[in-house]
């Protein structure tokens, strides 16, 4: 599960959250955010420019700067804030995580995979959005976006692992978080397809939840063939 990397620089959080998950109801109809989402879905992260967003949204550049105020490197930081808000809004609209308590017959494996499918299946259908998510999390606004995504899945993971050994829970959190981040990075760098992510994570979850004693036991040394009498 993606892990909380912290918070974004002070003074810039409001610019992101005004178009993000906390305000998804209003931002869903925001023409600026909607224009950015449209570009991200069809053309990808690199295609997003403030001028193209303004043209599609039929607003001025000045309106965008007012909507996403920043203090330094205005164009670049405004663009990153806009993309972050667009992705956060898209996540709120397309990723639904079931936070209800797991059923009594649901295994830890099934619960963790339910969480991961809910998170990654929408991204597999819109891989450009996943690439943009990875790219923008490297910006000053990335920590806030990463944290808001983490807040979606964390309650499910906590319910699935509730009552288990705390050391085991911490290990699952660390290993699965690193596996998710690594798989996203490998996809964004072109090494794997977006549809390859869930099968790779499934193997990780299986190894974290299965009894591996038999598969990790030393193999008996092969005996030489008996000489013919």
Q: Report angle CA 33, 39, 45 to the nearest 5 degrees.
A: 100
Q: How confident is the model over 41-73, as pLDDT tens digits? A: 999 999 999 999 999 999 998 888 888 766 445
Return d(Cα 154, Cα 140) in angstroms, integer: 23
Is residue 122 very low, low, confident or very high in pLDDT (cuts 50, 70, 90)? Answer: very high
Q: Which of 37-46, 104-113, 202-211, 220-229 has the lowest mean pLDDT?
A: 220-229
Tell me the C-alpha distance between 162 and 154, whole Å.
12
pLDDT per residue over 146-195, tens digit each?
888 888 888 888 889 999 999 999 999 999 999 999 999 999 999 999 99
Confidence of residue 75 (pLDDT cuts 50, 70, 90): low
Looking at the chain, the whole-number percentage of residues with pLDDT higher than 90 is 50
Domain ranges of the chain: 13-209
At the second CATH level, the architecture of 13-209 is Orthogonal Bundle (1.10)
């Amino acid at each position: 599960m993606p892990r909380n990397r912290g918070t974004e620089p002070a003074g810039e959080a409001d610019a992101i959250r005004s178009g993000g998950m906390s305000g998804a109801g209003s931002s869903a109809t925001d023409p600026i955010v909607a224009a950015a989402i449209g570009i991200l879905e069809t053309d990808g992260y690199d295609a997003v420019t403030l001028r193209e967003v303004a043209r599609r949204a039929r607003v001025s550049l000045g309106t965008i700067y007012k909507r996403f105020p920043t203090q330094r490197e205005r164009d670049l930081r405004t663009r990153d804030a806009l993309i972050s808000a667009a992705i956060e809004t898209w996540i709120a609209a397309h990723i639904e995580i079931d936070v209800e308590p797991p059923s009594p017959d649901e295994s830890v494996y099934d619960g963790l995979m339910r969480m991961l499918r809910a998170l990654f299946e929408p991204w597999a259908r819109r891989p450009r959005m996943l690439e943009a998510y990875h790219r923008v999390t490297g910006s000053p606004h990335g920590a806030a976006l990463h944290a808001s995504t983490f807040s979606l899945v964390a309650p499910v993971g906590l319910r699935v692992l509730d009552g288990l050994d705390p050391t085991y829970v911490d290990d699952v959190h660390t290993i699965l978080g690193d596996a998710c981040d690594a798989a996203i990075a490998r996809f964004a760098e072109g090494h794997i397809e977006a549809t390859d992510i869930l099968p790779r994570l499934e193997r990780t979850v299986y190894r974290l939840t299965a009894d591996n004693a038999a598969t990790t036991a030393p193999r008996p040394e092969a005996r030489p063939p008996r000489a013919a009498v």
